């Protein structure tokens, strides 16, 4: 279940954005022991995973070809569809072209 999301500049590192989000609301993680973050390969970093571990959070991400299989990796495929559905819903709420509001007809 998503508990946090944000819009960020696409030029920023995703790991930095997530760490900043967790810093803003430290109780978010503290109040959820055993929190598991589902991510893609872009979140791979020993330093990042160590920071999450210090917060009591585990990272579930696919392994690279050069890595051995990570714990829980087999469950990623079943969760992926749910994650994409939630992301699509959140993005859909932010479309300026398809906002759902009334518009004025152009006078031609």
Domain span at residue 27 reads 14-85
Phi, psi of 81 (to 5 degrees): -65, -40
Domain assignment present for 92? no
Provide the whole-model pTM: 0.64
Report the pLDDT value the prediction gives residue 16, as an integer from 0 to 100.
93
Domain assignment present for 55? yes
Report the pLDDT value the prediction gives residue 93, as an integer from 0 to 100.
66
Number of domains in the chain: 1
pLDDT band at 95 (very low <50, low <70, confident <90, very high): low
Domain assignment present for 8? no
Identify the bridge partners of residue 59 per DSSP, sorted by sequence position. 37
Domain assignment present for 60? yes
Check pLDDT > 70 for residue 107: no
Cα Rg, the chain, nearest whole Å? 18
Domain assignment present for 104? no
pLDDT tens track for 26-55: 888 888 888 888 888 888 889 999 999 898
Domain assignment present for 91? no
Domain assignment present for 4? no
């Amino acid at each position: 279940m998503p508990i946090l999301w944000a819009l960020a500049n696409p030029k920023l590192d995703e790991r930095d954005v997530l760490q900043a989000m967790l810093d803003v609301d430290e109780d978010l993680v503290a109040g959820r022991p055993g929190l598991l973050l589902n991510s893609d390969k872009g979140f791979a970093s020993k330093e990042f995973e160590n920071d999450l571990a210090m917060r009591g959070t585990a990272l579930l991400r696919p392994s690279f070809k050069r890595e051995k299989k990570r714990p829980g990796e087999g469950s990623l495929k079943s969760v992926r569809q749910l994650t994409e559905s939630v992301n699509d819903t959140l993005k859909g709420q932010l479309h300026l072209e398809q906002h759902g509001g009334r518009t004025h007809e152009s006078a031609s």
